[in-house]
A and B are shown apart, each in its own frame.
Chain A
């Protein structure tokens, strides 16, 4: 970093519907030295709370936004610069900041536009594309009952210099609710069909939970199509799973009955906001979702156990494999990350639950970026 550079810390845009956020608390004081991994400020939206990390190494010269303040996306929150940058240069930088411009610059880099639909094998699948570049594309697969919005903290970061696609699996999000037999093989076929439809010859697969098992199944059935495999809190690596969660999620129809189950997804249960719960309920009310979830639960998690354990087959895979887990995962135990084939790089993240890619987004993003960059 050149000594004269001034870096803005702006209100991020997490997900398509976010228009503003509230500063919950500053984690770093003015005048403190920061490095790019340091968590600087905690931001809350109606959907979720997350931290923003320092944009560059330097000194947190100015906190522009106060705790409790609600500001539009793109608004200036703080300024990071070298200690040698004069105060009046910082003042001028703050005076010149334009929220719309800052956001536009940020969006041009990575932030996705609107989801798109594509027809695959007689089904409509919804996906969100973001990023461009010559690097191999990266495909994100959510977990049971989730959708592409679950990658809101990850996709923008991963899309820097690389095409990324977050897919709604059949039966989920905005995709067709027809799931066939609802098995891992059926999902893997849909994923390969999606890659065919978009002419993606080889992709990095990143899968969370059920999506991890689907990615693994796809890598086994179509190894030539998968450049690398990142399995996050993945199903398919052991037989244990929180069967009560699966049944509770399928059966619950009301805010108060589903909330306790959603809280199990996070190490910090306070992350489950009203809007998050509402989004899940709105999905669950869609015609066909009940039947789809029932079919998938019965096929993949019958009797509160995982039907398919593929851990012994990791050794047969030619592509690099990375496994990431939240140490406090209450849905699929982090113990499944232990004793895997030596070919797999394993990272267990402290203080995070099943939704480790949301709770420790910065760290998970760095792990994925570094891992896929090594491949192409």
Chain B
């Protein structure tokens, strides 16, 4: 057990899984630091240094710097997975995923089904999500609902260093294609995390905080925003139960429904754009299957339906904050 950041946990999970299984390889743009890097061979370790140190340990046959062509290297990773390797491809920002949709949606996600269950595609695509990084509209989106929509893909969205390590290990050990979303503002978050390898099963929500009055379902960084709101509300005697689904596909609907059946109130906090996001999906789930338990209308807290603004003042207004979450919770109690 030692203090580790979210970013260190990603690195440690990759290293431990690579030691554990020689079929695990990693690939992506600048994940070691190739052409154009300042000379040494482990120069960069990815745009934010997450994979730094893996190249010296595992070498160029397992740590592959790729050309700037997402369609090519994600396609290569999917093909390698179908033929015996367990690749982890890093696609810098989820915003760039558009150029390799076919490889993900129509190939990786379909192989098991199309080949009568005889093919497995154990590929993981790691990618950064989230606003608040002053990186403008093309580097700030939370596109996980798009991937959650596709049958055959698993979607993992960790909110803490402990979860990041255990969920990434589980994603790599899983025989299906997994898209692993890392919120860039969580990279510096730190907590005590076991040094030994461990895996957290995909499809198990985490009840981050227990409370009797209102259920808040929140994802990624919004778990922390919800926790801040819950602290404030606790001072007024309002007990919030926070459920972090951790994976949106498979979704642990049982834990969400059980919580709402207990509290009778639901607020869903989702940083993804508001139409067809996880907030609408989870609200629909609860409205359909736990309507009788609801004592008040469901509230959703999401950004407005606009691109993520570049102006700092506007970006800060765009991302849901604790005050908005607290307000939504209070409205379920009116």
Inter-chain contact A253/B196, CB cutoff 8 Å = no
Cα distance, A177 to B194, chains bound together (Å): 14
Inter-chain contact B207/A285, CB cutoff 8 Å = no
Q: A274-B210, A282-B162 are in contact. Are A174 and B198 (CB under 8 A)?
A: no
Any A CB within 8 A of the CB of B197: yes
Any A CB within 8 A of the CB of B1: yes
B179-212 at interface with A (beta carbon < 8 Å) = 192, 194, 196-201, 204, 207, 210
Q: A174-B1, A274-B210, A285-B166 are in contact. Are A253 and B201 (CB under 8 A)?
A: yes
Partner of A286, one of B192, B194, B210: B194
Produce 1/0 per residue, B211-249, CB < 8 A to A.
000000000000000000000000000000000000000
Inter-chain contact A286/B1, CB cutoff 8 Å = no
**Closest CB in chain A relative to B263 CB, distance in Å:** 16
A residues near B20, Cβ cutoff 8 Å: 287
Inter-chain contact B200/A285, CB cutoff 8 Å = yes
Any B CB within 8 A of the CB of A270: no
B residues near A287, Cβ cutoff 8 Å: 20, 196-199
Any B CB within 8 A of the CB of A366: no
Inter-chain contact A286/B196, CB cutoff 8 Å = yes
B1-46 at interface with A (beta carbon < 8 Å) = 1, 20
The 10 sampled A-B contact pairs (Cβ below 8 Å) are A17-B192, A174-B1, A177-B196, A253-B201, A253-B204, A254-B204, A282-B162, A285-B198, A285-B199, A287-B197
Chain B residue nearest to A283 (CB atoms) is B194
**Closest CB in chain A relative to B211 CB, distance in Å:** 12
B residues touching A (Cβ–Cβ < 8 Å)? 1, 20, 162, 166, 192, 194, 196-201, 204, 207, 210
Any B CB within 8 A of the CB of A255: yes
Number of A residues near B (Cβ < 8 Å) is: 11
Chain A residue nearest to B193 (CB atoms) is A282
A83-134 at interface with B (beta carbon < 8 Å) = none
Chain B residue nearest to A274 (CB atoms) is B210
Inter-chain contact A286/B204, CB cutoff 8 Å = no
Cα distance, A286 to B199, chains bound together (Å): 7
Partner of B194, one of A254, A274, A282: A282
Cα distance, A177 to B198, chains bound together (Å): 12
Chain B residue nearest to A281 (CB atoms) is B200
Cα distance, A238 to B253, chains bound together (Å): 45
Cα distance, A174 to B192, chains bound together (Å): 13
* 18 further A-B pairs in the complex, CB-CB below 8 A; given A274-B210, A286-B196, A287-B196: A17-B192, A174-B1, A174-B194, A174-B196, A177-B196, A253-B201, A253-B204, A254-B204, A282-B162, A282-B194, A285-B166, A285-B198, A285-B199, A285-B200, A286-B197, A286-B198, A287-B20, A287-B198
B residues near A255, Cβ cutoff 8 Å: 207
A210-261 at interface with B (beta carbon < 8 Å) = 253-255
A residues near B210, Cβ cutoff 8 Å: 274
**Closest CB in chain B relative to A283 CB, distance in Å:** 8
B residues near A174, Cβ cutoff 8 Å: 1, 194, 196
Chain B residue nearest to A285 (CB atoms) is B198
Cα distance, A282 to B166, chains bound together (Å): 10
**Closest CB in chain B relative to A263 CB, distance in Å:** 16
A134-189 at interface with B (beta carbon < 8 Å) = 174, 177
**Closest CB in chain A relative to B228 CB, distance in Å:** 18
